[in-house]
């Protein structure tokens, strides 16, 4: 049984349709990359998967329809990392990660809660930052704090909306490599909306390609990332190279204007 299943997920903001009939499954240990141009519906889909929005169709978590689950039940299964993260600049790293324990908290913070936070900090390599204020961290360190907060939630499914946005090249690689490792070692199902096709190809087991709220393709990076697909999705002419069995996209020019200088 897949850990996460979307069946015919559709959503509208008032009279504007932004998702149409999206379906896929995801097993434990897998990373699914949501790719597509701006406005394609990636963020909306992630919010529907986490039941932050109420879509048409069905979202199943380990076989259970989210419509039959309470908010605390969903929060104990799914952790959502938004683009902005919602980090208070005055909070310490420990306090921020402790927020991930909310679905499990009773009347007070228990020793188990503190232990879970410490384990998440250690796993992300930021244990030494526990007492540091979050506004004194680099962008990459803040992103690790957000992932640690999600892990402290003890969720089996991680939903991340552009986890590499605003990060430099090294930190983008480190964050994606970390997510792939966590999925494999801790048997998590990870869904990440990501703009960088080459990062997605390298670290995601499968891709779901969206455009105008519809699925244009689903499958492995090697099967999906072709010059024709890049042209159809992004209106870009591109060359697809093979780097040690992983497709690598080299953008050349917008499809509608062949006279522009190549971007190499």
In this structure, what CATH number is given to the domain that contains residue 104? Answer: 3.40.50.300
**Mean of pLDDT over the chain:** 88
Based on the domain organization, do 77 and 203 belong to the same domain? yes
Residue 146 has pLDDT above 80, yes or no: yes
Summarised one tens digit per residue, pLDDT across range 42-67 is 999 999 999 999 999 999 999 999 99
Q: Are residues 139 and 241 located together in one domain of the fold? A: no
Q: Are residues 160 and 260 in the same domain?
A: no
Check whether 78 has a pLDDT greater than 60.
yes
Instruction: Give the pLDDT confidence score for residue 258 in this predicted structure.
Output: 46
User: Which candidate, 165, 207, 159, 195, places its Cα nearest to that of 179?
Assistant: 159
The domain tally of the chain equals: 2
Q: Are residues 33 and 131 in the same domain?
A: yes
- Quote the strand ranges of the chain, DSSP E: 4-13, 16-26, 31-35, 56-61, 64-65, 78-81, 157-161, 189-193, 206-211, 214-219, 236-243, 246-254
**149 and 233, same structural domain?**
no
Q: Is 192 helix (H, G, I), strand (E, B) or coil?
A: strand
Same domain, yes or no, for 203 and 233?
no
Average the pLDDT over 167-183 and give the result.
88
22 lies in the same domain as 99: yes
Of the two residues 37 and 138, the one the predictor is more confident about is 37
Dist CA 249 CA 246 (whole Å): 10
Residues 102 and 230 both lie in one domain = no
**What is the model's pTM?**
0.88
* Tokens found for residue 255: 């499809």
Distance in angstroms (rounded) separating the CA atoms of residues 192 and 19 = 17
pLDDT category of residue 257 using cuts at 50, 70 and 90: low
Mean pLDDT of 4-19: 95
Angstrom distances, CA of residue 223 to CA of 79, 127, 165: 29, 40, 26
In a shared domain, residues 241 and 259: yes
pLDDT band, residue 260 (cuts 50/70/90): very low
Same domain, 237 and 175: no
Q: Are residues 12 and 76 in the same domain?
A: yes
Domain containing 71: what range?
A: 4-220
- Are both 126 and 245 inside the same structural domain? no
Q: Give yes or no for a contact between 227 and 237, defined as CB atoms under 8 angstroms apart.
A: yes
């Amino acid at each position: 049984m897949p850990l996460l299943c979307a069946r015919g997920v559709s959503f509208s903001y008032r009279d504007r349709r932004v998702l149409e009939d999206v379906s896929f499954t995801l097993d434990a240990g897998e990373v699914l990359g949501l790719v597509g141009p701006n406005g394609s519906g990636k963020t909306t889909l992630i919010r529907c998967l986490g039941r932050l929005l109420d879509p048409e169709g069905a979202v199943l978590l380990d076989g259970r329809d989210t419509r039959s689950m309470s908010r605390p039940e969903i929060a104990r299964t799914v952790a959502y990392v938004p683009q902005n993260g919602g980090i208070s600049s005055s909070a310490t790293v420990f306090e921020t990660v402790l927020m991930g324990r909310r679905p499990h908290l009773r009347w007070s913070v228990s020793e188990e809660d503190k232990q879970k936070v410490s384990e998440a900090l250690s796993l992300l390599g930021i244990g030494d930052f526990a007492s540091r204020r979050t506004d004194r961290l680099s962008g990459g360190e803040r992103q690790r704090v957000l992932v640690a907060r999600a892990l402290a939630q003890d969720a089996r499914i991680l939903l991340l909306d552009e986890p590499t946005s605003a990060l430099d090249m090294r930190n983008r690689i480190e964050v994606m490599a970390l997510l792939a490792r966590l999925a494999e070692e801790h048997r998590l199902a990870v869904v990440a909306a990501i703009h960088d096709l080459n990062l997605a190809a390298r670290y995601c087991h499968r891709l779901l390609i969206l455009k105008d709220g519809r699925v244009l393709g689903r499958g492995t990076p090697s099967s999906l990332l072709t010059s024709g697909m890049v042209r159809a999705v992004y209106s870009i002419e591109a060359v697809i190279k093979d780097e040690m069995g992983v497709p690598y996209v080299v953008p050349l020019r917008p499809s509608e204007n062949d006279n522009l200088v190549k971007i190499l």
